[in-house]
Structure 1
């Protein structure tokens, strides 16, 4: 029985068979409903032939049609909407066909010569074997059951007419052809199902792979520290990842409603796109741009974008926030600029230049710099920024000293030993008022500069259009520290220069006094020699000593005349010394000539 069932029904394994039944049910559900509606209408219309051709059986045939067959058809249609219809489908269709076919066979038994009923029975066999897509085993079972009912009725009635015998043979032949056709149709349907099932399985595997791939890529994009954007040629943002949402301050829903040039005010992507179109390139292009956050602030990004021919064209962009890098570069440039500036300017000018740079970087029109004395109780005002003096403040007072205890809330950074921000200065309870000519304060940021546990200076900025934040603290604290280092170096250089000038003046005075002393000693020797005019030994000794003294005095005389007190021109020294010796011997003019073959070099002392 199992072998015959497998041969006739060609069943799959239970799981695949269930899928096959579901597939055929979903495929034929609408068609079967329409078919049963048509069958019910045909049964109802054929009642007219009963009325005209077999009036004697009309009442019986009417009851069979409208009280048995048609209600079964209607029930089958209604049950097709039930969730378990796929389980009941074959049994429902088979029972409906058998009831409808047996009813027509019964009518033929009563009226065997009515050709129209044979046509109806032919339609029932056609529906059973070919139209309703029954399994082959159910088709064969239904067809044989109807044929058996007809043949049994003919035998029971004893009909032996040629028409009945011919019709019987025709119906038997039709069933044989129907069985063959049903088997072939079953093989075709199952082969089609296997093909479709294989494609669906491959598609399911492909969809699963694509889903896994998409999940993998989305995970990468949404966990990436770099922003990701997809922008259409209509300037609409199509996709954005979480990183870009964090950069810009917008939610993903807000970004998808914005045109891209709302955040890309420089229209950098549009310029890159125009270049790509002109060059007919589709390679990745990298460039820097400035984007706008939701709060209106700007941040620098490095865009890597490529154009793809997807949905009329899309830009695939990766965005890296380079604000910190640009800030670092700017701070380094400022530091180098201040170090270079310090070379040719005074300490006051350097501090003012520093305040100008700091104020520009944090968009603050007010800036000031104070030194804190060693006692940690006294401030000395050193500098205001240029813009403060020009636009806001008419105060004078470079190097004014006053106590910290007398200052207002702006020295909280000294009391608390940390940077302080007052974004609502007017509401602060500890304000002590402002001196006449002082700029009005709206908000302020003040940072202390510390060395060896002591506060050595403070730098403050004020009146930024927007509130100060931690980024401003980092910028101001860094440049304040740089300013202190450069200022200390400048102060040390100025002190060293002052010391050198003092030492130089002292040395010049020393050389001058030594030269004078030598002249006094030479005069005393000449005075002593005059007391022994006849003693040639004394006179010769005095002359020799005077020459030596004059040689020493000449060195100090030349040093006194030079700008640099640490070296002397050796050629000039030897020439003057030779001339002095020649003159001291009182030789005849022109008899002795001095030639000095000495290079014009400097001798360090």
Structure 2
């Protein structure tokens, strides 16, 4: 667009410059725009009507352009400022660095306007600021180890909303086994805008609409036009926040989805950068929650160990007293002829107690014993000790946890009944079966030891018997505050029920 006093050589030089350059009269009318500026601003080579320089500015910037232009025209010195340019062809705006410098062209004062597109630089600066902001958020997040889980989640969610430029957000935990989302946090703005009276907390994934696709597809899902038709949408409940845009991501831990985080209503479309910000922040939150959970469990474990260590002396004292009482009872019925057998019985009783302590101190939970596993090990030990070659042992026990105050007497009961069965139920190589079962139901725990041997002599009363083993069983059932029943139909069947 050469003007009447422009110089052809000068224009050729200007057209070769990478920055946008315009020669402007002091009244603001453009004499010439170089090729870079025409391309930058979407101006055709022959625009038709003369253009004013300020027509390149967005309306909010026009006053600023006039002020700097006037200063340059009056003072002559270069005036530089940042501005937003509006492209004529499609009204697309971009950031630019603008400078005005007064020159003389063929004796006429002109303003040389240099316009440099700074959009790429601005994006780089914004990306750096965003990265710095995200790192600050992660740093603050990692310093929240001592905070409650709710406060950690609320902070992470608000930062996610801020870093993605969104208005609202939510956070839900996901249970892959139950295929269920449990809402845990809403952003402050989301709570303010929401008008739902009774908010649902748990959502089976099969009942969710578009927001459940992040779980079903196991990847981030971006919806930049929420009003557009979608086969995944199931509608919003009355009072729900109006959605224009929506994005949510699944957070994985060892291949499992553990968290679903979502944001919505960003003024601009969501893109992969928003996905990255949301994923990195939520992964940082999840790692903190896992670390906090581990630390809390460790603290609980240490506190539990401290309490239990204080009880060890008391337990040892009580158990040594039991050992002393057992030996004392055994000595009352021992004779020179059965001395070896008496020592063997005492050894088995003490061994049954020692096995409980062994399992107790090897377990993570120092307060309780997996009694089902203990029964299997005790029975295996007694079978190897008595070697009843013709006896088939059938064990059907649940993994029931018992505290030591119930485990010790219960273990001694099993020791007595199983030992008696191995000694007396299969005489002279007789084949038979020993059944041991343990079940827990609404009435408590039922322990059964049964054999199909010859059974007990008809005159024996379990509650008043001369044999030491059955005396111990009766006393120990009383210690458990339980009930003992003996069935004699096919061999001997002992049923002990306790809480």
| TM class, shorter-length | 0.3 to 0.5
TM-score (norm 2): 0.48
Higher strand share: 2
TM-score (norm 1): 0.40
Higher helix share: 1
Higher relative contact order (CA 8 A, sep 6+): 2
